[in-house]
Amino acid sequence: MNFSSGVRSRMLHMTTKSAERRQTHSSVQSTLRVNHALNVLLLNFVGGQKFALHPQNSDKVLSLESIKQVHLREIEGLMPTYRVRPSALLPVLNSASFLLGVGSSLLPHKASMSMLAVMANAIAEHCNSQLREFNEQDVAEPSIRQAVRTQRDSGFDFAQHVEDAQDPRHSDSHLSSCVRAATTATACLASKI
């Protein structure tokens, strides 16, 4: 092997490594931005529900709110480390999710809890897909993996915890589909914007 082919080989290796790091960094940034937006979505949804609160669901709503505030602080603590900016959708997201929460709390108690559980479950499913992507791309960021894992587990736990308060007729309703679609759309848009 002559000098020029050795240099070319090393440069190709360095270029490949650099491209892999950029892709990993991009995945990490997208994950943090999306999880931040989803936490804001759920917290404002809960805020809307609290605004027009049913007395009987206050404890469950407040417990989810405190859990999500911890998750939001954790994500916000990681964002500067990985040089992640919040989504540009936050102003619209704040208003829309608050209004959706107010609207859902005007429904009967079981339907209201179903909407909240549907949103928490949709967020948990999205976190699960992010973890699968990390595994496929061999992303080794333990702090981010742990944050996403914690958010996923708390979402599934909450949905399971309020299962007794859910009305099965409402969990498959058009409104539930809208809440699930809004959550999915938020995740898709926040990853880009």
Express each pLDDT in 142-155 by its tens digit: 888 888 888 888 88
pLDDT at 98: 92
When pLDDT is averaged across residues 111-140 and rounded to a whole number, the result is: 84
Token pair for 128: 């699960």
Q: What is the pTM of this model?
A: 0.78
Cβ distance 168 to 52 under 8 Å? no
Express each pLDDT in 28-41 by its tens digit: 888 889 888 988 98
pLDDT at 182: 82
Higher confidence at residue 140 or residue 124?
124
Express each pLDDT in 41-97 by its tens digit: 888 888 888 887 755 556 667 777 788 888 888 888 888 888 888 888 889 989 998
Token pair for 86: 């919040």
- Most confident among 17-26, 28-37, 161-170 (mean pLDDT): 28-37
CB atoms within 10 A of CB 42: 28
